[in-house]
Structure 1
């Protein structure tokens, strides 16, 4: 048990925390321990009295049913681990700010355009897009096919059409793609190609708060140790990595 705990505590802290929250919340819901009500996102619930501001977080913590509990959790952990090891994110505060920014874009987009109420798929698409931008020239396994790594988020979106409610899920996923692309444009594309500056720098107070907790800088991860066939790594067997990111299997 101590060895398992040591392995668990040795994983990237943000990826570990978010993936654990997703897994525990999903298990609690699908075993009947909690209702879906705390996880539903709707703008009217945010502004009621008392305000349901917690939904800005909890709406990203519920997976699909069945095996999706495992697969969605795994891919959230995998992509977040890659971001924590990505030189674009110099410290943990940058990763947290990224999550805050993309969530802050996903929520209003869904409020106005999709009426999506469970938003994990949007976040997973955003994570997938950002994590694979630095994997150009590498391949990734998606179900039974091998594709260029940077196409993974688009395949992730298209496969939604094969499942019930696929069109709604596709629209929710597109909001994550928009959020991730906007973050990339404001922090990388515009500064590099437009001779501008990073328009959404990590707030100083957030960096101070993270440093005060003693989290420290990001450490080398999968993004800095690319593989030619599939850029994924993690604690699960290789055979699981070819299933595709976060599909609803149950």
Structure 2
């Protein structure tokens, strides 16, 4: 399988996120086009009345990876945990659920990391949030992270520890906002409705569901089988003469056969 085949085999939201991250980060870090300074989150550039607000800074920090080895590792983490959640997670079983999850945790990261922690790049918190949700879905799965093997439930904390050791305590502090965002989603979408007796606050709008729905009658592959989407119309068969269907109903079937004849007549 070629690289392009692997790319198009990814689920749509994860595929789009990885393509945007690679397409923005590699030129920015390798040839300085665009200058990463114009991609960072700087609140005084967004919330300003002295000039036009640079609103793209609300999005680009989520797509900007770190330099050097992070140019490869960050997209890999997006692929590893994003694909698993988008395809196999039971909590994102309906069309558009995974996109709503991404938007929710991104908003929380933007507020917590950008405005309270002073972070300027959000890719690291985003990947940590994906890893946390993945760990909640597969707590006993055995993973290998670099040279260490452990249960998936420890994955986000191992990622934090590696950031602490390889980058800095400040970088780990900023990355921890991803834990806050993912746990807030976990609480509002699962813990509070199932165990607190409340109703789910996070839901997928009908408009978003329609973006991801497949045409009626088409097959959608799932890990646990093949689902056939709805919206198909059944046209009843009408029994006429002796060619009517024998399975279209007892009365209708027999009435279409005529009066019949006795043997010997």
TM-score (normalised: structure 2): 0.76
Q: CA deviation at 1:106?
A: 0.5
Structure 1 residues 94-103 or 36-45, which shifts more? 36-45
C-alpha separation in 2, matches of 1:188 and 1:109: 21
Whether the 8 Å CA contact 2:29–2:36 is kept in 1: the answer is no
78 and 205 in structure 1: CA distance in 2 versus 1, 3 angstrom threshold:
same
Residue 159, structure 1, aligned to residue 158, structure 2? no
Deviations 1:174-228 (A, max 9, x none): 11100000001000111111122111112233223444999x998536xx7xxxx
Q: 1:82 aligns with which of 65, 81, 84?
A: 84
Find the counterpart in structure 2 of residue 231 from structure 1. Answer: none
Find the counterpart in structure 2 of residue 36 from structure 1. Answer: 36
Q: 1:139 aligns with which of 122, 132, 142?
A: 142
> RMSD in angstroms over aligned alpha carbons?
2.5
Q: 1:52 aligns with which of 51, 54, 58?
A: 54
Residue 113, structure 1, aligned to residue 112, structure 2? no
C-alpha separation in 1, matches of 2:110 and 2:93: 26
149 and 219 in structure 1: CA distance in 2 versus 1, 3 angstrom threshold:
farther
TM-score (normalised: structure 1): 0.80
C-alpha separation in 2, matches of 1:57 and 1:213: 31
Question: Which one has a bigger Cα radius of gyration?
Answer: 2
Find the counterpart in structure 2 of residue 247 from structure 1. Answer: none
C-alpha separation in 2, matches of 1:68 and 1:200: 32
C-alpha separation in 1, matches of 2:145 and 2:34: 33
Deviations 1:102-153 (A, max 9, x none): 0100011123321110110000100100112111222111121111101100
C-alpha separation in 1, matches of 2:53 and 2:101: 24
Aligned partner of residue 54 in structure 1, secondary structure: helix
Structure 1 stretches of 5 or more lacking a match? 225-250
Find the counterpart in structure 1 of residue 24 from structure 2. Answer: 25
Task: Flag as ranges the 4+ runs of structure 1 deviating above 6 A.
Answer: none
Residues 1-250 of structure 1 correspond to what in structure 2 (within 5 A)? 4-32=3-31, 33-48=33-48, 49-85=51-87, 86-164=89-167, 166-211=168-213, 220=222
Q: Which has the higher contact order (CA 8 A, sep 6+)?
A: 1
Aligned partner of residue 150 in structure 2, secondary structure: strand
C-alpha separation in 2, matches of 1:116 and 1:61: 14
